[in-house]
Chain A
Amino acid sequence: MATLRGDVGGLELENPVMLAAGILGTTGASLRRAALAGAGAVVTKSIGIEPRDGHPGPGIVHLGVGLLNAMGLPNPSYREFQEEIDIGRTGGSPVVASIFGSSPEEFVEVAGGLDADAFELNLSCPHAQGYGAEIGCHPGDVEEITRAVVREKSVPVWVKLTPNVADIVALGLSAERGGATAVVAINTIKAMAIDVESGYPILGNRVGGLSGPAIKPVAVRCVYDLHSALSIPVIGVGGISCWQDAVEMIMAGASGVQVGSALSGGLDILKSISNGISRYLDRKGMALADLSGLAGRQR
């Protein structure tokens, strides 16, 4: 079978199919499990300065077209998380620490307190006050925070972008100017669901972010636009639930992909996607590098 080994965002991965942030990433054991199930890299739940319990429930609701969630960045704080990263690493795949903060100083404190194979800056969570997309929709803040973490750490720094802006490319360019190794696109799309029996918004936080199949075309477009404008790699995430979705995202310009919501069908999906990509490459007589950004070259 065609090799999928290669560089993704400054990490040498066995395959480019990763576990996305926020999915099975709270414990080292579940990160290891995802790695053993075939993830080329695993991204942790977003980690911050202080422990947070998250929003009241419901935190997730399955809407058929995708998942709507507002977990509220629950995490035990970086002070309690190194052991989980270390256990996660025993799965044999790089562990990427997703981190969040409300300022460059907080990001630097969290990054400085953790040893991981790479960092993914959560500048895109759409439902936590003072964090994520509230900062990440300002290009200047994205650049400043990226630069601060890059200065602090010697490992790759990825910046996860929010699609809830008029121009995601402007954010990507800011991350690039700040020295990011790669950008990750996209986080969830702001969304809402209401219980028609009672009129109550279903999420405990009332509003949240949509993931899953419904957002894949949006993600493909964002990746395509970012890949066209940036010189750093783009990692694609958003609604990937089969190998065809992954191939499409890579053709749009992604050098690797992350899988999240599709894990609700079980961890086997990780291997099934990477095997599918391999078989596709065999059938086409292509290498992974031939696929990346193919859509931009076909005209």
Chain B
Amino acid sequence: MRPSPVRIVEIIEETSTVKTIRFDSARLDPLPGQYMMVWIRGVDEIPMSFSGPSEMTVAAVGEATRALFRLRPGDGLGLRGPYGNGFSLIGDRILLIGGGVGAAPLAFLGDVARHKGIEVTSLMGFRCSEDIIFKRRFERLGELILTTDDGSSGIPGRVSLGLERLDPDRFSQIYICGPELMMWDVIERWKDHAGKMQASVNRHFKCGIGICGSCCMDPTGIRVCQEGPVIPAVQLLEGEFGRYRRGPSGSRGPPRG
């Protein structure tokens, strides 16, 4: 499909480095965990997950996201999608585990789950209190445990420290989204429960339609842009996840975060 034109209707500054961009298209109808290819005309096209039915939450990390940051309400974008497999809601008591801007698709998932009467618990980690996003949104969903790397809010330290406050047996399904090493840490520590964990995986997407091969992961060659980005954690235990990732050229490098 060609990129559909949308117009930005609202921009919310979540923190000094994170913005939520709302656009006017109600026709996309994404599932939480799905993503869209966002075309910033004249700059680049990048994958972004949905933080709501017609919004994305963006951290300025590269040229394209910085260009997104410069846009104003009324400006246009081209969107392809929604693409990929989203989170699938299973059971009636779920746990959301997020890190940084990875909290965004989980907040969307939490909204949908809560609306269906599912009990939602959230464990969210950030670098510092200034980086915290969606605090009130997660609190409205249910219990929220916060961690910060610098100890300025919540439990001091990494997200995984928050796991000690939680009993994995309590939850019917666990959803993870954040920096890869954070997700790897969580999956490793709760390996016995990997069967009920779903993780949103980030790889270098170019085509979004499962043919160019830039997002394929070892050892199975799974096409993350189409068969992911949400992948059952049991499929991530043996392979490249948490160990390396390929960049835009296909060269291997360290995983992010």
On A, residues with C-beta under 8 Å from B are 22-34, 45, 51-54, 56-63, 67, 69, 71, 74-77, 80, 87, 193, 195, 197-198, 200, 202, 204, 260-261, 263-264, 266
| A29/B221 in contact, CB under 8 A | yes
Q: In the assembled complex, how far is the CB of residue A184 from the closest CB belonging to chain B, in whole angstroms?
A: 18
Task: Tell me which residues from 15 to 67 in chain B have a Cβ below 8 Å from any Cβ of chain A.
Answer: 37, 39, 41-46
On B, residues with C-beta under 8 Å from A are 1-3, 5, 37, 39, 41-46, 76, 78, 80, 206-214, 216-221, 223, 246-252
Q: 5 closest Cβ contacts across the A-B interface?
A: A57-B45, A33-B221, A29-B221, A197-B5, A30-B221
Whole-angstrom distance between the alpha carbons of A56 and B43 in the complex? 7
Q: In the assembled complex, how far is the CB of residue A103 from the closest CB belonging to chain B, in whole angstroms?
A: 21
Q: In the assembled complex, how far is the CB of residue A30 from the closest CB belonging to chain B, in whole angstroms?
A: 4
Chain B residue nearest in CB terms to A20: B211
Whole-angstrom distance between the alpha carbons of A75 and B246 in the complex? 11
| A74/B206 in contact, CB under 8 A | yes
Residues from chain A with Cβ under 8 Å of B2 in the complex: 61-63, 193, 195, 202
Chain B residue nearest in CB terms to A31: B221
| A26/B251 in contact, CB under 8 A | no
| A45/B206 in contact, CB under 8 A | no
| B249/A25 in contact, CB under 8 A | no
Query: Given A29-B217, A58-B45, is A76 in contact with B249 using a C-beta cutoff of 8 Å?
Result: yes
| A198/B41 in contact, CB under 8 A | yes
What are 12 sample pairs from A and B whose C-beta atoms fall under 8 A apart? A26-B216, A33-B220, A51-B250, A53-B248, A58-B39, A59-B207, A60-B209, A60-B211, A61-B1, A61-B2, A74-B214, A263-B211
Q: In the assembled complex, how far is the CB of residue A144 from the closest CB belonging to chain B, in whole angstroms?
A: 28
| A204/B44 in contact, CB under 8 A | yes
| A197/B212 in contact, CB under 8 A | no
Whole-angstrom distance between the alpha carbons of A77 and B217 in the complex? 19
Residues from chain B with Cβ under 8 Å of A264 in the complex: 209-211
Query: Given A27-B213, A71-B206, is A51 in contact with B249 using a C-beta cutoff of 8 Å?
Result: yes
Partner of A197, one of B76, B80, B209, B211: B76
Whole-angstrom distance between the alpha carbons of A32 and B219 in the complex? 10
Residues from chain B with Cβ under 8 Å of A200 in the complex: 41-42
Whole-angstrom distance between the alpha carbons of A260 and B251 in the complex? 23
Whole-angstrom distance between the alpha carbons of A89 and B19 in the complex? 46
Query: Given A29-B220, A60-B207, is A53 in contact with B41 using a C-beta cutoff of 8 Å?
Result: no
Residues from chain A with Cβ under 8 Å of B3 in the complex: 58, 61, 195, 202
Partner of A76, one of B41, B76, B223, B250: B250
Partner of B206, one of A34, A59, A75, A193: A59
Partner of A27, one of B76, B78, B221: B221
Whole-angstrom distance between the alpha carbons of A260 and B213 in the complex? 12
Query: Given A62-B1, A195-B3, is A53 in contact with B212 using a C-beta cutoff of 8 Å?
Result: no
Q: In the assembled complex, how far is the CB of residue B14 from the closest CB belonging to chain A, in whole angstroms?
A: 25
Q: In the assembled complex, how far is the CB of residue B197 from the closest CB belonging to chain A, in whole angstroms?
A: 22
Residues from chain B with Cβ under 8 Å of A54 in the complex: 206, 248-249
Residues from chain A with Cβ under 8 Å of B250 in the complex: 26-27, 45, 51, 74-76, 80
Partner of A75, one of B39, B223, B249, B252: B249
| B246/A57 in contact, CB under 8 A | no
Chain A residue nearest in CB terms to B207: A60
Q: 11 other contacts beyond A24-B212, A77-B251, A198-B5, with CB at 8 A cut-off?
A: A28-B218, A53-B249, A57-B37, A59-B206, A60-B212, A62-B1, A71-B212, A75-B249, A80-B252, A195-B78, A264-B211
| B209/A62 in contact, CB under 8 A | yes
| A56/B249 in contact, CB under 8 A | no
Whole-angstrom distance between the alpha carbons of A198 and B39 in the complex? 12
| B247/A53 in contact, CB under 8 A | yes
Whole-angstrom distance between the alpha carbons of A202 and B80 in the complex? 12
| B251/A51 in contact, CB under 8 A | yes
Query: Given A58-B37, A74-B214, A195-B2, is A27 in contact with B246 using a C-beta cutoff of 8 Å?
Result: yes
Query: Given A62-B1, A202-B3, is A25 in contact with B213 using a C-beta cutoff of 8 Å?
Result: yes
Whole-angstrom distance between the alpha carbons of A45 and B218 in the complex? 17
Whole-angstrom distance between the alpha carbons of A107 and B43 in the complex? 32
Whole-angstrom distance between the alpha carbons of A87 and B44 in the complex? 32
Query: Given A60-B209, A195-B78, A264-B211, is A29 in contact with B46 using a C-beta cutoff of 8 Å?
Result: no
Query: Given A51-B249, A198-B41, is A59 in contact with B216 using a C-beta cutoff of 8 Å?
Result: no
Residues from chain A with Cβ under 8 Å of B214 in the complex: 26, 74
Whole-angstrom distance between the alpha carbons of A31 and B246 in the complex? 15
Residues from chain A with Cβ under 8 Å of B220 in the complex: 29, 33
Whole-angstrom distance between the alpha carbons of A204 and B46 in the complex? 12
Q: In the assembled complex, how far is the CB of residue A242 from the closest CB belonging to chain B, in whole angstroms?
A: 17
Chain A residue nearest in CB terms to B41: A200
| B41/A24 in contact, CB under 8 A | no
Residues from chain B with Cβ under 8 Å of A58 in the complex: 3, 37, 39, 45, 78, 80
